[in-house]
Chain A
Amino acid sequence: MSEEIRIGVYVCHCGLNIAGVVNVKEVVEYAKTLPNVVVAKDYVFMCSAPGQAMIKEDIKEHKLNRVVVAACSPAMHEPTFRGVLGDAGLNPYLFEMANIREHCSWVHPDDKEAATEKAKELVRMAVAKARLLEPLEKIKSAVRPAVLVIGGGVAGLRATLDLVERGFDVYLVEKRSVLGGNAVKLGELAYTTLTGKDVVNSLVEKIKANPKAHIFLNSEVEKVDGSIGDFRVTVTRRLGEGKEEKIELNVGAIIVAIGYDPYEPAIGEYGYKTTDKVVTLFQLMDILSEEGPTKGELLIGGIRPKSLAFILCVGSLSTTPNAKPYCSRMCCSASLKTILKIKEKYPDIDVYVFYKDMRTYGKEEDLYWKAIENEVKFIRFDEAPSVKPRDKFVEVEAFDTTIQERIAIPVDAVVLANGMVPATDTEKIRIMLKIGCGADGFLKEAHLKLRPVEALTDGIFLAGVATGPKNIIESIASGSAAAAKAATIVTKEEIEVEPLIARVNEDMCSGCGICAALCPYEAITIEVKEDGKRISKVNSMLCKGCGTCAAACPSGAMQQSGFKDNQVMAQVVATFRGE
């Protein structure tokens, strides 16, 4: 029936990494005795140019149609050798790797004989599987050269501007009636006379001047279908008088930049809302801004305070029962910056800072030095201070850990350095886009360190405070970084994904839906055919090839390409039965 199976086996020395423990020549001789193996060779570095050339020549000369390399972990060089097969005109998936380094020589350096026997077994298993391998083709899908940005704060604005300057259409969807998010309320920023609003305006002006930018205010994303390269999005725009409009978009990538909400203290938390002499830092910044309620005059509860107490970590570091466990990252610096600006304008004000840890990291330490120079007084606490509104003043009481004494300081007003909490819509967006979120409630990145702006779902990227506290500078940088990632997708006409995914044999599928319930990437749907038969369907762009469904399918209908039941069984049998 089918072609004759002709396997080439290549055993690598990896310098002395393998050959120092495993008797490579013996493994080669053994491989030659296995059924279907027509050639077996060894070489010092199989992955080197000469090693690759050797395999390529053999494929042609010996008419090989399967290749086994016994070397390092497939995580290291499987792509390399697949490439070699491709270059030699063979389907790249007719390749199998036996890991005789990490799984053998490295872990058995003291028993050379046993290691050599184990290497033979690993080769036997790989050959058994190689016999049953089938050619596979990469899955291709067309890419829509446009991007959806959800959220028009500084992060979303920066991402939008970068992508339109790069030549792509961007649909920016903002829930509110204005762009800019929380930054517009922050007044003058540290190290500059720029205000948050100036930063927003400079971005918005450039965006509005670019015909590639399509801005939807008063709008929300209602539904997202499809997958990387081809998302179909429904946006609802509020038109006033209770009217709404639906807009259908088709984009290749999505950037989520929904930001945060400022922490809102509970009534009575540090006296909040029990007196007009207690305000949040967020409110104070608005008070100090030219466009604020007092046109920039420092007036709290109708008076110009002569003394101020700042309480840090409000809503953060578990300081109160309502507070979050994490650090909000920018409130130490934002408080000191605000204090210095106040001191500049009103040098006679006495300022007390109640803090738990002063976290002016990096160059922002500069603000701490300057605050000390400006005679700001610092009081360190472990237990949250208590705020007691009196007739004409407010008393802040705390146990000062530095002098080991309880102190009470009367001040004219109290500022609560409130932190950041996940935006109200985080949960809704998370479910709609099938992306994750962490224990802190912020959106979760694919890898905290190395993939900080990618969501776990392909084609979806994250920017700004949506993933966790950041200042404006960091939010803007992450906006550009997310834009770069989106650009890597939308620059391509087509994207290719690995074919090592789950496939359903429709004749065998009973439509029980067990697979759909278990798939961690929500790649499976159960479809009902015209004749009423229920059948599982895998979205090849969403499937990550984890194999969960194939393992669970009671009918054997779900098979994982490259790891089909018969292929894996052949390997298992070869392990125990020998050959």
Chain B
Amino acid sequence: MKPVVVVGGGIAGIQAALDLADQGVKVYLVEKSPSIGGRMAQLDKTFPTLDCSSCILTPKMVAVDRHENIELLTYAEVKEVVGEPGNFKVKILKKPRYVDVDKCTGCGQCVMKCPVKVPNEFNLGMDMRKAIYIPFPQAVPLKATIDPEHCLYFTKGVCRVCERFCPPKAINFNQKPEEIELNVAAIIVATGFSLDDARKRGEYGYGKYPNVYTNLEFERLLSSTGPTKGEIVRRSDGRHPKKIAFIQCVCSRDELTNKYCSAICCMASTKEAILAKEHLPDVECTIFFMDVRAFGKGYQEFFERAKQEFGVRFVRARPAKIEEDPKTRNLIVYYEDTETSRFTKEEFDMVVLAVALRPILPESLVKSGLIQPDNYGFADVPEMYIEPVRASKPGIFVIGVLQSPKDIPDSVIQAGAAAMRAAIYAISG
């Protein structure tokens, strides 16, 4: 039996690795960043059941770490793939963490002592981390990583404070990149997505007006491990908002940016409005939408609950523009309510943009022709009706948001499907 490589450690990659490993197949899980978890680790609670995202994700992450059939290669990327189904040669580059992971206990002493502050990507730059860091409290593996672009030792040749304070002497400034070569039967790619750049819709003022947020930023504001420890406060003055507008389809269903629908943002905003109401019972939430895409199991019911139980207001409109009141930093939303055909404007003190999902295709696999982008840039599945997760090349599987915009349940289902198909190659390989 031959092993399988899973590229990308978000929920899709995690589930695929577990479903293969539980079938007795050896799996290498390759993740670019220092920890697995992907976007789901950044979410606060999840629709439509409102269970806490990290509470349901962490046990899966721990299970991956502990599984005897899974080898976790974090902080690593696939450099090159050659071969045929049943027999691929995969070159993987492991970047140096400058921390000996066998010694590091994740105690965080180094992080406390490190003098350099860097914008924290886990919180989308809304607070700071250190040059040596553990990305989030539930990270797997729970190990420190030095960011050489900002570390004083790497940039100026001084400091080494972390080394001095590390109890088990885990810091190693001499670590070198490591190349690993694997021979595998199949490859599952689950490299997920990032949000599109909301500045492309300049009329909404993202990046210009401080109180305009992306929905992913808002998830971090809601989260107790976020930059404000779960307080919803405005970037401009730290005050609680009284009126929040959610604007849907930003860079989605849009001729200028992306024509497709991002599939999750109607429900994500509905959820975020409910959570805002739970955090601040007096806050008013308005969702500006074109169609409510409440298509999944329990979604329509969730939408009805938002309206009836939580009093979330839904306005069928695509706002034309937002202006900022320079004194109050409040935001004036201009829109035509299509259900009354009236042009009007309304003031809010916070705006959340539901921004389109853009797939992240790993370059090395695209270059070698193993994955092909479709006309929207997602990974193409030519035989979608019979093998819904098979990429352009047999033996390569594409799952999760990489392949089309989708929610967690559909990502998990595709992960199982890919694990099944890959296992067939593994046992005959």
Whether A associates with B in a native complex is yes
Hey, which bits of chain A sit against chain B, CB under 8 A? Answer: 15-16, 44-45, 48-50, 75-76, 79-80, 162, 165-167, 189, 191-192, 194, 199, 202-203, 317, 325-327, 329, 357-366, 369, 401-404, 438-440, 442, 447-453, 467-469, 472-474, 476-485, 487-488, 491-492
A497 to B288, CA, bound (A): 50
Mask: chain B, 102-128; 1 = CB below 8 Å from A; 0 = not: 100111110000000000000000000
- How many whole Å from A255's CB to the nearest CB in chain B? 12
Taking CB atoms, residues of chain A closer than 8 Å to B415 are 481
The answer to whether A326 and B300 touch across the interface, beta carbons within 8 angstroms, is yes
Chain B residues near A480 (CB-CB < 8 A): 388-389, 416-418, 420-421
Cα–Cα, bound, A472→B384 (Å): 9
From the candidates B19, B59, B385, B404, name the one contacting A476 in the complex (CB within 8 A): B385
Q: A363-B374, A481-B19, A484-B423 are in contact. List 9 more A-B contacts (CB 8 A).
A: A16-B108, A50-B105, A166-B423, A329-B295, A359-B291, A362-B261, A404-B341, A449-B46, A487-B420
B38, chain A: closest CB distance, angstroms: 14
User: How long is the Cα–Cα vector from A317 to B414 in the complex, in angstroms?
Assistant: 27
Query: Interface 1/0s, chain B 293-307, versus A by CB < 8 A?
Result: 111111111001000
A329 smallest CB distance to B (angstroms): 5
Tell which of B62, B299, B376, B427 touches A76, judged by Cβ atoms closer than 8 Å.
B62
Could you name 17 residue pairs across A and B whose Cβ atoms are closer than 8 Å? A327-B300, A362-B261, A363-B405, A364-B261, A366-B259, A404-B340, A404-B341, A448-B48, A451-B412, A452-B409, A473-B384, A478-B413, A478-B416, A480-B418, A484-B417, A487-B423, A488-B19
A162 with B105: CB separation less than 8 A: no
Given contacts A44-B167, A357-B292, A484-B23, contact A477 B388 (CB under 8 A): yes
Chain B residues, CB < 8 A from A365? 253, 259-261
A476: B residues at CB distance < 8 A = 385-386, 388, 417
A473: B residues at CB distance < 8 A:
384-385, 388
B408 within 8 A of A: yes
Which chain A positions have C-beta within 8 A of B161? none
Q: CB within 8 Å of A: which of B367-424?
A: 374, 376, 378, 384-386, 388-389, 404-410, 412-421, 423-424
Nearest A-chain residue to B252, judged by Cβ: A365
B263, CB-defined interface residue at 8 Å: yes
| Contact call B413/A488, Cβ cutoff below 8 A | no
Q: Cβ of A189: which chain B residues have Cβ within 8 Å of it? A: 385
Nearest Cβ on chain B to A55's Cβ, whole angstroms: 15
B318 part of interface (Cβ distance < 8 Å): no
- Does any Cβ of A come within 8 Å of B56's Cβ? yes
Q: Which 8 A-B pairs have the closest CB atoms?
A: A481-B416, A480-B417, A484-B420, A488-B22, A468-B297, A365-B261, A357-B291, A362-B263
| Residue pair A448, B409 in contact (C-beta under 8 Å) | yes
Most chain A Cβ neighbours within 10 Å, of B66, B297, B304, B384: B297
Complex CA distance for A402 and B341, rounded to whole angstroms: 7
Alpha-carbon gap, A162 to B413, bound state (A) = 15
Contact B105 A484 (CB under 8 A): no
Inter-chain contacts of B168 with A (CB < 8 A) = 50
Q: Which residues of B contact A481 (CB under 8 A)?
A: 19, 412-417, 419-420
B148 interface residue per 8 A CB criterion? no
Q: Judging by beta carbons under 8 Å apart, are B297 and A194 in contact?
A: no
The chain B residue sitting closest to A317, CB to CB, is B300
Q: Which of B1-54 contact A (CB under 8 A)?
A: 11, 15, 19, 22-24, 46, 48-49, 51
Tell whether A162 pairs with B421 under 8 Å between CB atoms, given A365-B253, A485-B416. yes
Report A-chain residues with C-beta under 8 Å of the C-beta of B105: 44-45, 48, 50
Chain A residue nearest to B255 (CB atoms) is A369
Contact across chains for A449 and B386 when beta carbons are under 8 A apart:
no
Inter-chain contacts of A369 with B (CB < 8 A): 259
Residues of A within 8 A of B108 (CB): 15-16
- Kindly supply a per-residue 1/0 record for chain B positions 267-300, scoring 1 wherever the CB is within 8 Å of any chain A CB and 0 otherwise: 0000000000000000000000001111111111
Q: With the chains together, A426 CA to B339 CA distance in Å?
A: 40
A325-B300, A452-B412 given; A487·B23 CB < 8 A: yes
- Contact assessment for B417 and A75 in the assembled complex, using a CB-CB cutoff below 8 Å: no
Q: Is the CB of B388 within 8 A of A450?
A: no
Contacts of B413 in A (CB 8 A): 452-453, 474, 477-478, 481
Interface 1/0 per residue, B144-168 and A, CB below 8 Å? 0000000000000000000000011
A364 to B412, CA, bound (A): 20
Q: Least Cβ distance of B302 to chain A in Å?
A: 11
Give Cα distance in the complex from A403 to B339, angstroms.
8
The answer to whether B301 touches A192 (Cβ under 8 A) is no
Q: Report the separation of the CA atoms of residues A328 and B293 in the bound assembly, to the nearest whole angstrom.
A: 12
Contacting residues of chain B (312-334) with chain A, CB-CB under 8 angstroms:
316
Q: Which residues of A contact B259 (CB under 8 A)?
A: 365-366, 369
A/B pair count, beta carbons within 8 Å: 192
Taking CB atoms, residues of chain B closer than 8 Å to A448 are: 48-49, 297-298, 409
* Nearest opposing residue in chain B for A405, CB measure: B341
A364 CA to B293 CA, complexed, in Å: 12
Are the CB atoms of B384 and A191 closer together than 8 Å? yes
B201 adjacent to chain A (CB < 8 Å): no
| Of B106, B297, B376, the contact of A363 (CB 8 Å cutoff) | B376
Interface residues of B in 327-351 (CB under 8 A from A): 338-341
| Chain A residue at smallest Cβ distance from B18 | A488
The CA of A360 and the CA of B423, in the complex, are separated in Å by 33
Rounded to whole angstroms, the CA-CA distance of A134 and B102 in the bound complex is 35
Query: In the complex, what residue of chain B is closest to A45 when comparing beta carbons?
Result: B105
Against A, the Cβ 8 Å flags (1 = close, 0 = not) of B215-236 are 0000000000000000000000
Question: How long is the Cα–Cα vector from A201 to B317 in the complex, in angstroms?
Answer: 45
When chains A and B are docked, how far (Å) is the Cα of A203 from the Cα of B56? 35
For A203, what are the chain B residues with a Cβ–Cβ distance below 8 Å? 386
Distance of A227 Cα from B274 Cα, bound (Å): 41
| B95 at interface, CB cutoff 8 A | no
> Is B79's beta carbon under 8 Å from chain A?
no
Contact A327 B102 (CB under 8 A): no
**Across the interface, do A450 and B60 meet the contact criterion of CB distance under 8 Å?**
yes
Considering the complex, give the chain B residue whose CB is closest to the CB of A452.
B409
Set of chain B residues within 8 Å of A491, measured between Cβ atoms:
23-24
- Report Cα–Cα, A492/B420, bound state, in Å: 16
CB distance from B421 to the nearest CB of A (A): 6
Most chain A beta-carbon contacts within 10 A, residue among B253, B296, B407, B414: B296
Contact with A along B54-76 (1 / 0, CB 8 A): 00100110100010000000000
Q: Which residue of B lies closest to A478 (CB)?
A: B413
Cα–Cα, bound, A364→B404 (Å): 10
From the candidates B407, B410, B419, name the one contacting A484 in the complex (CB within 8 A).
B419
Flag if B420 contacts A162 (CB, 8 Å).
yes
Is B301 within 8 A of A325, CB to CB?
A: yes
Inter-subunit contact A327/B424 (CB<8 Å): no
Is A166 touching B376 in the complex (CB atoms < 8 A)?
no
Do residues B49 and A402 form an inter-chain contact, with CB atoms below 8 A?
no
Q: How far apart sit A482 and B413, CA to CA, in the bound complex (Å)?
A: 8
What residues of A have a CB within 8 angstroms of the CB of B297 in the complex? 326, 440, 442, 448, 467-469
In angstroms, Cα B22 to Cα A326, docked, is 34
In the complex, which residues of chain B have a beta carbon less than 8 angstroms from the beta carbon of A482? 416
Of A191, A359, A363, the contact of B293 (CB 8 Å cutoff): A359
A45: B residues at CB distance < 8 A: 105-107
Minimum CB distance partner of B339 in chain A: A401
CA A76 to CA B24, docked complex, whole Å: 24
Q: How far is the CA of A478 from the CA of B417 in the complex (A)?
A: 7
